Amino acid sequence: MQARTGPPTQEAAKQLSAEASKAIRATEIILSRAKLDALRDRASEKDMTELLQQAEQIGKECANYIGRTQMMNIVGQLRGLGNSPTMAQISLFRAYVAYQVAKERKLETLQQALKPWFDQMTRQWERVRGAPEQQREEWTRRAFSSFVYFVDSIVAYYTYHAKGGAE
């Protein structure tokens, strides 16, 4: 098992945030896919590779300082939103993550990694706000599926590295 270290420096948190922003740019195509299955079939190998590299970096960093219970609490809240949450529910989840960071500063890097996703969903929501309700709901479902896929990838790599995975 890997030795746990203290929370990362603010510099490291900013670097992870910048890396997560790169992942957002690389995955904007993902946010426009109709279904997660279609994403897996149609997204370019380069897009998926970059997204998974970002998830691995974040998961590996989190494995150094976030306990499994803390990680699973956040994932549990995410799962509690269901498959088609409203933008209000997504905003409440973002607030939940911020609350957890206020309690445990070592979660700040995870929050910084998720921030670009939250920001992207908010910007996209603003763009589709005037669309018919069915289109807004479909967009929210697609964007949320991509977000969950990214978080699942982080958790998979977190688990791998927390159990002493290869460097």
Residue 37 lies inside a defined structural domain of this protein: yes
So what's the pLDDT on residue 39?
44
| Other beta carbons less than 10 A from residue 154's beta carbon | 25
Q: Is residue 157 part of a domain?
A: yes
1 domain-assigned: no
Q: Evaluate whether 107 touches 66 at the Cβ level (below 8 Å).
A: yes
Amino acid at 73: N
Q: Using DSSP, state whether 24 is helix, strand or coil.
A: helix
Q: Residue 61: name the closest of 158, 149, 155 by CA.
A: 158
Residue 5 lies in a domain: no
**How many domains in the chain?**
1
Q: Can you give the pLDDT at residue 135?
A: 80
Q: What is the rounded CA–CA span in Å between residue 97 and residue 149?
A: 17
One-letter identity of residue 80: G
Residues whose CB falls within 8 Å of the CB of residue 54, separated by 6 or more in sequence, listed in order: 19, 20, 22, 23, 26
Any idea what the Cα angle at residue 64 is, between residues 59 and 66, rounded to 5°?
A: 75
Q: Give residue 93's pLDDT.
A: 92
pLDDT for 23 equals 55
Q: Which residues of the chain have pLDDT under 50?
A: 1, 25-42
Integer Cα distance of 128 and 14 in angstroms = 30
**Which residues constitute the domain of residue 120?**
10-162
